[in-house]
């Protein structure tokens, strides 16, 4: 953000803007940049998902639009969704129905503000960054319940209720699992957490106190899958049961917002996992051995993409859990395990 402020300072007439507004401009600009980058990444992820699923299923996936392996397919789909009619059911709660997709979308994108993409590429370094991510990230539950309720459709209602129960349950193990990282660092700031992992792969938290933090990573990853409603935890939109869950009644651009939010959420949880466990933007080996020749943000994005790929890979190889099994997994398996891990990490940090 500092560099953006410096760049903006070169613009003619920039210094004549009053101080109070001038402080806002870099924030807005960097938010727009992040938003644009994430929107592009999401479009890419949708394409990647279709390709991964296709190849796992011995298909080819989109091949025509844009030429090389149908790279422009998602662009074409986005244009199609933009042009489609925006249907609001007659018996729906009109206001909530219209607002809900934006709430979900907001929750997904707002959390990116604190993600450190590089040593200096982040919008804000909050000292409660992780707390912010979790708080804003769970905002989407409200949107989902709004959508489920406002659609006035029984399937949507089921989807909304399932999503609420699921996301709230899985916040707990995932929040506890990241404590395995927060305890050694002693800070909730994502930048500080990444800085603590400088100096090569052996300093990444995933390899710290083996296998304690690694297990924490696994628990966080599973719980985050559930938080973003991905298979095997996609019960809120379970296609074969609830048609499409909470977005059954949505069409056109409002549906696209739900769709984009799902992928943005995937990127969000993968970004958090990267920053916490996989060293963020840091290089694989100490700088003294091989200097880092890939820019930090690119490295970060590569790691995120690897995690997103694993999410897709899981989705296309596993069946879906049932509601009660989902709750069983959260409360009876992940929660005790994560609590034990936190105790273990705490003991190791204090007495080792």
Compute the least distance from the CB of residue 111 to other proteins, in Å: 27
Compute the least distance from the CB of residue 211 to other proteins, in Å: 14
Site for other proteins in 89-148 (CB under 8 A): none
Could you say which of 325, 340, 343, 347 contacts other proteins (CB under 8 A)?
325
Could you say which of 320, 344, 346, 348 contacts other proteins (CB under 8 A)?
320
Compute the least distance from the CB of residue 121 to other proteins, in Å: 32
Whether 102 contacts 161, CB under 8 Å: no
Site for other proteins in 59-78 (CB under 8 A): 59-60, 63
Find the part of the chain contacting other proteins (CB under 8 A) among 13-21, 27-35, 124-132, 238-246: 238-246
Compute the least distance from the CB of residue 56 to other proteins, in Å: 5
Compute the least distance from the CB of residue 159 to other proteins, in Å: 11
Compute the least distance from the CB of residue 219 to other proteins, in Å: 12
Residue 239 binds other proteins (CB under 8 A): yes
> 298 preceded by cis ω (within 30°)?
no
Round to whole Å and give the CA distance between 277 and 203: 10
Tokens of 206: 């995933």
Find the part of the chain contacting other proteins (CB under 8 A) among 4-12, 136-144, 262-270, 310-318: 310-318
Q: In terms of CB distance, is 67 or 291 closer to other proteins? A: 67
Compute the least distance from the CB of residue 217 to other proteins, in Å: 14
Q: In terms of CB distance, is 53 or 120 closer to other proteins? A: 53
Of 166, 96, 176, nearest in space to 326 by CA: 166
Could you say which of 240, 289, 350, 352 contacts other proteins (CB under 8 A)?
240
Could you say which of 55, 79, 168, 302 contacts other proteins (CB under 8 A)?
55
Q: In terms of CB distance, is 72 or 194 closer to other proteins? A: 72
- Residues in contact with other proteins by CB under 8 A are 52-60, 63, 154-155, 158, 231-232, 234-235, 238-243, 313-314, 316-325, 332-333
């Amino acid at each position: 953000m500092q560099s953006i402020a410096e760049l903006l300072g070169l613009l003619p007439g920039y210094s004549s803007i009053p101080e109070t507004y001038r402080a806002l401009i870099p924030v807005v600009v960097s938010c727009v940049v992040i938003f644009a980058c994430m929107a592009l990444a999401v479009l890419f992820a949708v394409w990647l998902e279709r390709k991964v699923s296709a190849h796992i299923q011995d298909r080819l996936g989109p091949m025509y639009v844009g030429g090389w392996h149908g790279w422009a397919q998602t662009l074409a789909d986005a244009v199609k969704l933009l042009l489609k009619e925006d249907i609001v059911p007659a018996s729906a709660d009109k206001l909530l129905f219209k607002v809900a997709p934006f709430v979900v979308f907001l929750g997904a994108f707002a959390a990116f503000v604190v993600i450190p993409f590089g040593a200096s590429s982040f919008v804000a370094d909050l000292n409660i960054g992780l707390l912010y991510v979790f708080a804003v990230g769970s905002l989407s539950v409200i949107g989902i319940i709004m959508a489920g309720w406002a659609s006035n459709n029984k399937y949507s209602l089921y989807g909304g209720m399932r999503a609420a129960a699921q996301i709230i349950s899985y916040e707990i193990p995932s929040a506890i699992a990241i404590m395995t990282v927060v305890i050694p660092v002693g800070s909730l700031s994502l930048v500080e957490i990444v800085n603590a992992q400088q100096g090569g792969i052996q300093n990444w938290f995933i390899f710290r106190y083996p296998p304690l933090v690694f297990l924490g990573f696994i628990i966080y990853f599973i719980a985050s899958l559930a938080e973003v409603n991905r298979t095997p935890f996609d019960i809120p939109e379970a296609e074969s049961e609830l048609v499409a869950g909470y977005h059954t009644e949505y069409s056109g651009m409002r549906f696209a917002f739900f769709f984009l939010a799902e992928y943005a959420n995937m990127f969000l949880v993968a970004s958090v996992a990267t920053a916490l466990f996989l060293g963020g933007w840091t290089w694989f080996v100490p700088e003294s051995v091989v200097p880092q020749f890939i820019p930090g943000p690119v490295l970060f994005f590569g790691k995120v993409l690897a995690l997103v790929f694993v999410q897709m890979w899981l989705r296309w190889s596993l069946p879906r859990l049932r509601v009660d099994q989902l709750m069983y997994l959260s409360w009876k398996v992940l929660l005790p395990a994560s609590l034990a891990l936190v105790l273990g990490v705490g003991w190791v940090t204090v007495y080792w």
